[in-house]
Amino acid sequence: MSSASSILTVGSMAFDTIRTPTGVAESVLGGSVNYFSIAASFFAPVQVVGVVGEDFPSTHLDWLASRQIDVSGIEVALGKTFHWTGSYDGNMNEAKTHSTALNVFESFNPQLQTKHRDSSYLFLANIDPVLQQRVLDQKGTSNLIACDSMNFWITGKLEEVRKTLKRIDVLCINEGESVLLSGQRNLMAAATAIRSMGPSVLIIKRGEYGASLFTDQGIFFAPAFPTQTVVDPTGAGDSFAGAFMGYLAKVGAHRDMAKTEPEKWNAHLRRAVIAGCVMASFTVEDFSVHRLMRLTPEELSSRMDHLLKMMLV
Amino acid sequence: MSSASSILTVGSMAFDTIRTPTGVAESVLGGSVNYFSIAASFFAPVQVVGVVGEDFPSTHLDWLASRQIDVSGIEVALGKTFHWTGSYDGNMNEAKTHSTALNVFESFNPQLQTKHRDSSYLFLANIDPVLQQRVLDQKGTSNLIACDSMNFWITGKLEEVRKTLKRIDVLCINEGESVLLSGQRNLMAAATAIRSMGPSVLIIKRGEYGASLFTDQGIFFAPAFPTQTVVDPTGAGDSFAGAFMGYLAKVGAHRDMAKTEPEKWNAHLRRAVIAGCVMASFTVEDFSVHRLMRLTPEELSSRMDHLLKMMLV
């Protein structure tokens, strides 16, 4: 696997216990880079840096490795895997956290190997912004760097979040987080404020309403693919990011294109957002990464075509 | 004015007293057919059937008449004009009603003149479904009939709402109403259930997220135009409907096209939804019909082009 064209992602591998209006899932496989890497692997090679405990099933790591996912950066540490417990009531767009057992994730200190430093694309999943900066410190040159965050860090470590934002190209957050980060309820005002903090590309995920993209080339709205079945929204955002980055890696997008080939850059980004919306629509159809694990490239491609038809005027 | 190509609308003219996060407007001009007719008049001739009290400013009726709006069907009755008092707090997508003084609107019993019966398009604004049916009883043949409703009627007169739905082509409601009417929270399930009640075309308005269109030709998602300024959402839905019906009247859309020219029909409906989204985005920029009254065809056309660019992939 060539690391040059591959995507590095750094974040959590986890067990999740989740209650949604459709049922309960106990200690199922979760974690941001789990969702991200499976989604991205439909498009490009992926490298994962993370940590799991001794209780994490090696069969799942083997399964990831059987795709184009390099799991050699996932440390198996003494102790238990990070365990998140949460629920979705009424509003399926926002999870309520019941407990967070960090376990081995508490002392997570990402160490990049040479091949990781050489990766062309980087996705910093939702982790402590201080750790995100440590990854950036270690990273070599890249085509594109994207980043996620969450309310917990925006509220608790705003200055560190701001430092991270100055060093990335793409911020991918949800609507509530965009309001919190910008202090603006109006979408346009929020987008302008956040882009002035650093990221030239901003994606605001709007759950069942889709996603909006803000760049120097303008604004783009992608609808969510309307699924008949919404079982569990967990991981929708991370799999969105996975398909988004995967698509950009596949087409060889580079931040410099914003200036050298703005129309092509714009088209790549818009298609990548569509890929993200479609991937997320599969994720929510089942608990954990179950739907993604049985997703075929044909299904993915067919639903992308279907969504594009729903946007035609 | 030829009544053959014109749009008849039946509903309320009113005074509104509104509080939104940006301010308060006391006894300003409102009413569903007020918003509807101004919006529609950008595209086609409109006829209004309604009732106002002696306190309603004749200057406003004159202003409407100075456009291609026939106000001869608006009765000036002894007494006061319908007065609605409401507010928007936090959630700008749903109004909270504080008081409803029906006044002359309480005994509203729409009487269609010959020219009204001959109109090609009909929009039944949000009034008692029994009255909607009385209008349908009087109406001659038409190209297309659209209808709005609200929670109050869906909850209080469901059987009558259902009778109306069997006799119309297009239902235009908001997301909360679609959930209430169908008993389904899932968008797809709600749309299927509602379309089985009669309307072959269903529009679900989603406030700041845009609108979705469901027909035999598929699903279409239109984003809302992202305005910097949201002063007052009142009338957004009615002006959406006005531009939607106006656009369809302008291009001569007919329900039979669904079978004879399905692709053209589909394209007309999608463009009409875009027109609706754009018109609504102007409406919310000021209280009452103020923004619509100073809107120019050039501004409208320019924003339609702008929104279409935000959907390009």
pLDDT band at A4 (very low <50, low <70, confident <90, very high): low
- For the segment A4-19, the average pLDDT, to the nearest whole number, is 93
pLDDT tens-place string over residues B136-145: 999 999 999 9
pLDDT tens-place string over residues A40-85: 999 999 999 999 999 999 999 999 999 999 999 999 999 999 999 9
- For the segment B89-96, the average pLDDT, to the nearest whole number, is 81
B171 touches chain A (CB under 8 A): no
The tokens of B256 are what? 């039979």
Q: Which chain B residues touch A186 with a CB distance below 8 Å? A: 228-230
Q: At B100, is the secondary structure helix, strand, or coil?
A: strand
Q: How many CB atoms lie within 10 A of CB B245?
A: 31
Helix (H) or strand (E) holding B75: strand B69-76
Q: Considering only alpha carbons, which residue of chain A is nearest residue B223? A: A221
Helix (H) or strand (E) holding A28: strand A23-30
Q: Considering only alpha carbons, which residue of chain A is nearest residue B208? A: A187
- For the segment A28-38, the average pLDDT, to the nearest whole number, is 98
Residue A36 has pLDDT above 80, yes or no: yes
Nearest in space to A144 (alpha carbons), one of A48, A263, A258: A258
DSSP class of residue A235 equals: T
B309 touches chain A (CB under 8 A): yes
Among B206, B218, B309, beta carbon nearest to A209: B206
- Residue B3's pLDDT is what? 56
Among B186, B209, B212, beta carbon nearest to A206: B209
- Residue A1's pLDDT is what? 44
Whether residue B188 and residue A228 make contact (CB cut-off 8 A), yes or no, is yes
* Topology of the domain covering B7-309: UDP-N-acetylmuramoyl-L-alanine:D-glutamate ligase (3.40.1190)
Q: Considering only alpha carbons, which residue of chain B is nearest residue A219? A: B310
- For the segment B241-257, the average pLDDT, to the nearest whole number, is 98
pLDDT tens-place string over residues A188-236: 999 999 999 999 999 999 999 999 999 999 999 999 999 999 999 999 9
Whether residue A271 and residue B218 make contact (CB cut-off 8 A), yes or no, is no
Contact in structure between A222 and A278 (CB atoms under 8 Å): no
pLDDT tens-place string over residues B194-211: 999 999 999 999 999 999
- Helix B32-40 vs helix B262-283: crossing angle, to nearest 10: 120
Q: How far apart are the first and last CA of chain B?
A: 41
Residue B2 has pLDDT above 80, yes or no: no
Among A218, A219, A309, beta carbon nearest to B218: A309
- Average pLDDT over chain B, rounded to whole? 96
The tokens of B16 are what? 């509104």
Of the residues A221, A265, A305, the best mutation for testing chain B's interface (the one with the most B CB atoms within 10 Å of its CB) is A221
- Residue A3's pLDDT is what? 56
Contact in structure between B281 and B227 (CB atoms under 8 Å): yes
- Residue A32's pLDDT is what? 98
Q: How far apart are the first and last CA of chain A?
A: 41
- For the segment A282-293, the average pLDDT, to the nearest whole number, is 98
- Residue B1's pLDDT is what? 44
B230 touches chain A (CB under 8 A): yes
Whether residue A221 and residue B223 make contact (CB cut-off 8 A), yes or no, is yes
- Residue B305's pLDDT is what? 98
Sign, CA dihedral A56-A62-A65-A71, equals positive
- Residue A91's pLDDT is what? 76
CA angle in degrees (0–180, nearest 5) for B13-B19-B24: 90
Task: Identify the CATH assignment for A7-11+32-73+109-309 out of 3.40.50.300, 3.30.2320.30, 3.90.1150.10, 3.40.1190.20.
Answer: 3.40.1190.20
The C-alpha atoms of residue B238 and residue B246 are separated, in whole angstroms, by: 12
Residues A158, A160, A162, A166, Cα dihedral to 10° = -170
Nearest in space to A92 (alpha carbons), one of A14, A21, A13: A21
Residue A306 has pLDDT above 50, yes or no: yes
* A170-174 and B121-124 strand pairing: unpaired
- For the segment A140-158, the average pLDDT, to the nearest whole number, is 96
pLDDT tens-place string over residues A94-147: 889 999 999 999 999 999 999 999 999 999 999 999 999 999 999 999 999 999
Residue A27 has pLDDT above 70, yes or no: yes
Residue B250 has pLDDT above 60, yes or no: yes
Contact in structure between A268 and A248 (CB atoms under 8 Å): yes
Q: Considering only alpha carbons, which residue of chain B is nearest residue A274? A: B313
- Helix A32-40 vs helix A262-283: crossing angle, to nearest 10: 120
The tokens of B135 are what? 């209008």
Provide the phi-psi class of A45: left if phi over 0, else alpha when psi is between -120 and 50, else beta: beta
DSSP helix, strand, coil percent of chain A (3-state; round to 5): 40, 25, 35
Q: Which chain A residues touch B186 with a CB distance below 8 Å? A: 228-230
Residue A305 has pLDDT above 50, yes or no: yes
**Residues of chain A with pLDDT > 90: what percent?**
96
Q: Which chain A residues touch B206 with a CB distance below 8 Å? A: 209
The tokens of B307 are what? 């929104």
Sign, CA dihedral B147-B150-B154-B156, equals negative
The C-alpha atoms of residue B65 and residue B72 are separated, in whole angstroms, by: 9
Q: At A302, is the secondary structure helix, strand, or coil?
A: helix
Helix (H) or strand (E) holding B195: helix B187-195
- Residue B102's pLDDT is what? 95
**Which residues lie closer than 8 Å to B280 by C-beta, 6 or more apart?**
B224, B225, B236, B237, B239, B240, B243
- Tell me which of A262-271, B83-92, B181-190 is least confident: B83-92
**Residue environment code for A247-257, b if the CB has 16+ CB neighbours within 10 A, otherwise e:** bbbbbebbeeb
